[in-house]
Amino acid sequence: SRYRPSAEALCRRILKGSPLYQIDTLVDLINVVSIASGYSIGGFDADKIEGDTLTLGIGRAGEPYEGIGRGELNIEGMPVYRDARGGIGTPTSDNERTKLTLQTTRLLTIINGYSGEDGLREAGDYMQELLRRYAGSDGGQAFYF
């Protein structure tokens, strides 16, 4: 594939001895769960999501998508989560428009369990535990689809 899933990219950095990016507490916690579980996890500022639904589809040819710190990405043929305005996340990169910042107060995480549910709930529980412990959160709500 032209882009590595985020969990794989993080693990490869560790194996190469490269430092992990330190962004902010929320992003760092998401990366910890991604590394521990092997799942790609999207983290989004819920207040920046437009509309009241998200859909999962396949990226289209020429579909605009700006990956965080990566610029325009070709997401043709890739799974993509969309809000009313467009793509917000793929297994390889979240979108610049809905990225987490130090001002984020409402977090949406999506744990991409495309291969089934094995370990998915444990990853969700771990995410909630870390959010309570390190981010002053009540852990939020978890939904499984």
Residue 66 included in any domain: yes
Q: How many distinct structural domains can be found in the chain?
A: 1
- Which residue range is the domain that position 102 belongs to? 6-134
Question: Does residue 123 lie within any of the structural domains?
Answer: yes
Inform me whether the pLDDT recorded for 14 exceeds 70. yes
Is residue 141 one of the residues assigned to a domain? no
Q: What is the pLDDT of residues 52-82, one digit of tens each?
A: 999 999 999 999 999 999 999 999 999 999 9
Q: Structure pTM?
A: 0.86
Closest listed residue to residue 81, CA positions, set 145, 7, 2, 1: 145
> Hey, CA dihedral for 83, 95, 15, 130, is it positive or negative?
negative
144 in any annotated domain? no
Residue 68 lies in a domain: yes
Strands of 55-58's sheet, edge to edge? 55-58, 79-82, 87-89
Q: What percent of the chain has pLDDT over 90?
A: 69
Per the domain annotation, does 139 fall within a domain?
Answer: no
C-alpha–C-alpha distance, residues 90 and 87, integer Å: 8
Q: How far apart are CA 97 and CA 22, in angstroms?
A: 20
CATH number for position 98: 3.50.40.10
Question: Is 39 part of a structural domain of the chain?
Answer: yes
